[in-house]
Amino acid sequence: MRSSGPASLRIEVGSADFAAFVATVADLDLVIATDGGTAHLCALGAPVLSVYGPSPFRRYAPFGLHNRLVTRDLSCSPCCQYAAHLVNSCLSNECMTAISPGTVAGLALKAQRLGKAGVKRLAPDLKVFQGPSHLDREELIDAFEARSS
């Protein structure tokens, strides 16, 4: 985030002009988004801090070294709602409700200082991932090399 002055909040409403939307997003220091298409679209132009709850974030997180993701590390994660053969009986939604606005705001304020890609544990059941991807870079290289030989 820029250090010259107080932080500001800007809400943009998209239109059919996709190029203009990405150009507008590129002017932002950081986008805070929940699990959804907004995070992926905005990651094309700006760093994103994604808040993930029940979905399997390793599968659905936006790519990019400058993107961050916060999620709870619960025994029920990812939620069984993503499995066709299980019944979701969750009534508490604690995977989302226990990620406080203060936690997200604190991560947004120090987004530039999280360092290199990897995982940081903020609390026993709260993790921040920087540069999330479907596969670890070394895993990706190993898989490519195995197919090539």
DSSP string, 92-110: S-HHHHTS-HHHHHHHHHT
Please indicate, yes or no, if residue 10 is contained in any of the structural domains. Answer: no
Q: Kindly state the greatest CA–CA separation across the chain.
A: 55
Q: What angle do CA 120, 121, 124 make, to 5 degrees?
A: 175
Please indicate, yes or no, if residue 9 is contained in any of the structural domains. Answer: no
Beta bridge partner(s), residue 72? 126
Please tell me the total count of domains within the chain: 1
Q: pLDDT tens digits, the chain, 149 residues: what are they? A: 445 566 666 666 657 788 888 888 888 888 898 888 888 888 888 888 989 888 877 777 887 777 888 888 787 777 777 666 677 677 778 888 888 898 888 888 876 555 566 777 888 888 887 776 554 555 555 666 676 66
Task: Provide the residue range defining the domain that includes 60.
Answer: 18-148
Please indicate, yes or no, if residue 136 is contained in any of the structural domains. Answer: yes
Please indicate, yes or no, if residue 7 is contained in any of the structural domains. Answer: no
The pair of three-digit structure tokens given for residue 147, joined into one six-digit string? 């197919």
The pTM assigned to this predicted structure is 0.71
